[in-house]
Chains A and B, each alone.
Chain A
Amino acid sequence: MSAQPARRFFLTGLLLLPSLWMTSAQAQLQVSPEMYERISSAASASYAYYPADTARHDELLRHIDAWADARIGLNNAREFKGGSPQRSTWVIERAVNTPLFPAGEPGRGLSPEQPFRIKYVKKAAGRSFVKSIRMPVSRRMDEEQVIKTGRHFIEAAGFVVTSEADRIGEPMVIARLLDVLQPGSTKPKTLVVLQRAIFSRSLDGLEVFNSRQIVDVHPETGEILAWKGLDWAPAQESGRKAVKALPAEQLLDAIKNAYRDTASTYHVTAVNEGMYQSAEMIFPVLAVTVERQADKSGQRAPKRTLYIPLTEIGGS
């Protein structure tokens, strides 16, 4: 989720705060004892929030932009301006692939038969660098190797600022696959387009839900096909503020308030504490997943995870 300007955050916070004290008779929201217990447990803890270190973040982004410029020459690339004023995209076409390996080491990379594009995007959420080489293969790389490659790349490139409290968290590996059925064949074949390592972020032991570092790896050559750093501004640890959580009933009211105008029945199915990064702050939130009760149609409704601020920002 993209970072938001501070003004919008605080206005939204002001709107949200009164709602915490509203009771809702119309909301058909069901909270099981187990989920209530999770909310209560979160409400009994203390947390901290941090300002985002915008100066260090700007420096980091300049470093990343210079890295990208060295690789594709942004002045020679075609620029696209997006609808959002904070978004710019550069695209360049290449006939020959210079493979990208974690620490810049040489290695055998892919040799596409056709020219391919390299895209670099600057947006409010962060940066992304993508080589649109699509050469699926039948083999997979070991997931541990994908993680190792991705982590090595991020650290060697200096794309993340970490500390004892603010670290790269648990990774997830997911593959992008093709299901191909050749004419005349009855058995589909699965090919691997890429394997993606998604690195989460841990701050004070809590996951920052919207911060992520993404590295796409080709399963055969192990070269980097893409890197993305999204919603990951360093925390200004000197500005750390310890705060107590809001009372459980206020958190519950905030959840119910989100469903006060609905006619259907919803259930809370998961509750997790974590943090969320906006443009200016990294603050504790309660992630509450809500699902609509199934009806007779057999159709599934999208689920929703609400991020409810766990504390008042600016309070103690």
Chain B
Amino acid sequence: MTQIQRFNFVARKLWLTLLLALIAMLAGCRDTRIHVSPEQPQQGDMLWIVVDNEENDEVDYVTVTYADQTKIGYGMPAYFTLDTCKDTQPYLTRLEIDAVTTYVDGATGSEDREVDLTRGAASTEDEDLDYAVYLAGTSHDDLRDDSIDMAEAFMDEFDAYSNSQYLTAEPRFFTRQSDTYANSADLVIAWGHGNHHTINPAGETIDLSTTGYGNFRPCGGSGDAEYMVFFSCLTLSLRDDDGNGWRYYWVNRIATQSDLRPFSGLHMALGFRSEVRTRWIFGTDGADLFEEFAANLDSGDRVVDAWQEAVGDELSFLFGDNRGTVMYLQVYEDDTIFSVTDDYILGNIDYHLVADYWE
């Protein structure tokens, strides 16, 4: 090889190297980004997926894959939507988003992102700390006046939250209008007759296993309810019912994942697994129960302990009655009324239900 030939060879090599380096450098500037809105999405949200690039003018199109769908966007930023509500869509727990950007010069770049949909961030809920009180209806003449006494004892003592509702209970508060009622307050207390996973506050029985409370209801919203107290017989029964274990009625499992269940972000259900019996002389010991419960909450007791200690101190355990029970996701075991914690649904590692109960 002559000197000139050698020089041309080296020059071509250098030129090629520089060209490759230039292409590599340009490719590094072609940064695909995936944004989601809401920024912390949860199942139920109408999710916006936005694919963007630092060099939008050089993008030909972007191919995005998510939730078993593949879509193409022309022009950047590219927008895609996904309804994650389990009422109308498959039950989604995680969303893997893959974006492949094809540039006008044929180069491609890719980006992926994974989003957990089973955690409802506390920050998305209403910041007010409030409680709602739903009295027994006048059709329950045995309970109506006592429920007023109990509610007033609680309200006189409880300072940590503000009272948002003081109403005679109606079924719609727990069902079709729960957004405005039972799911609108952080703490809800209701009185009524009851049985396994049901409550009858005013003449009509509510099957609680067909209701849902917490951050994940309604779809696209952020329900507030963390703690729900049911002063009613047997509502938190731990027996099997109709061939199903008690958890079947309160939390979702794979087979029921598309159904409603009370623990749709709810932290605790408090009440009784047995019949309830109050004692009356100068007033009802139910009022003492609620005063004690309120005082325990205010002084920072764990919510579980606040209820169970109040039940154990103020009500009688004779005849197998008044077996206080608290159902809760174990992650909330040490929570006080002042704790700020996220909500969870089926698919999240923290979604498993424990019952604390008087034997």
Return the CB mask of A187-198 against B: 1 if under 8 Å, else 0: 000000100101
Given A83-B157, A264-B142, A179-B354 contact (CB < 8 Å): yes
Tell whether, in the assembled complex, residue A84 and residue B282 are in contact, meaning their CB atoms are under 8 Å apart: no
Q: Do the beta carbons of B282 and A178 come within 8 Å of each other?
A: no
Q: Report A145 CB to chain B, min CB distance, Å.
A: 17
CB of A307 within 8 Å of the partner chain: yes
For residue B209, CB closer than 8 A to chain A, the reply is: no
* Binary per-residue interface labels of chain B (246-261) against chain A in the complex, 1 for a CB within 8 Å, 0 otherwise: 0100000000000000
Task: Say which one of B15-23, B175-183, B193-201 lies at the interface with A.
Answer: B193-201
Indicate if the CB atoms of B309 and A1 lie closer than 8 Å. no
Q: Is A22 an interface residue (CB 8 A)?
A: no
Residue of B nearest to A287 (CB): B279
Q: Does B170 count as interface, using CB distance less than 8 angstroms?
A: no
B208 within 8 A of A: no
Please tell me which one of the listed residues A8, A264, A305 contacts residue B280 in the complex, with CB atoms under 8 A apart: A305
Contact A300 B312 (CB under 8 A): no
Q: Which of A84, A125, A258 contacts B157 (CB 8 A)?
A: A84
A304–B283 CA distance with the chains assembled, in angstroms: 12
Contact indicator B308/A302 (Cβ below 8 Å): no
Alpha-carbon distance between A2 and B291 when the two chains are bound, in angstroms: 11
- Bound CA–CA A121/B300 (angstroms): 13
> Are B141 and A230 in contact, with the CB atoms below 8 A?
no
Of chain B, the residue at the smallest CB distance from A79 is B299
CB distance A12 to B282 under 8 Å? yes
Of the candidates A128, A177, A228, A300, the one whose C-beta lies within 8 Å of that of B357 is A177
**Contact string, B209-248, partner A, CB cutoff 8 A, digits 1/0?**
0000000000000000000000111100010000000010
Contact with B along A64-90 (1 / 0, CB 8 A): 000000000000000010111001010
Of the listed residues B301, B313, B349, the one surrounded by the most CB atoms of chain A closer than 10 A to its CB is B313
> Restricting to A178-221, which residues have a CB under 8 Å from any CB of B?
178-183, 193, 196, 198, 209-210, 214
Residue in B159, B193, B277, B317 whose CB lies within 8 Å of A289: B277
In chain A, positions 260-316 with a C-beta closer than 8 Å to chain B are 261-264, 266, 270, 276, 278, 285, 287, 289, 292, 297-307
Q: Are A9 and B282 in contact (CB under 8 A)?
A: yes
CA distance A292 to B139 in the complex (A): 13
Q: CB within 8 A of B275: which of A119, A270, A300?
A: A300
Cβ A262 vs Cβ B141 within 8 A: yes
Interface residue stretch chosen among A37-45, A155-163, A168-176, A236-244: A168-176
Residues 130-163 of B, flagged 1 when their CB comes within 8 A of A and 0 if not, give 0000000000111100100000000011110000
Contacts of B316 in A (CB 8 A): 209, 305
Q: Can you give 7 A-B contacts (C-beta < 8 A)?
A: A8-B282, A83-B158, A128-B313, A179-B238, A299-B194, A302-B142, A302-B232
**Footprint of A on B, CB under 8 Å?**
140-143, 146, 156-159, 192-195, 198-200, 205, 231-234, 238, 247, 275-285, 288, 291, 294-295, 298-302, 305, 308-309, 312-314, 316-317, 319, 321, 330, 333-334, 349, 352-359
Given contacts A287-B279, A297-B193, 14 further A-B contacts (CB under 8 A): A91-B299, A175-B359, A176-B359, A177-B359, A179-B238, A179-B354, A183-B349, A183-B352, A193-B356, A210-B279, A299-B194, A300-B194, A300-B233, A302-B142
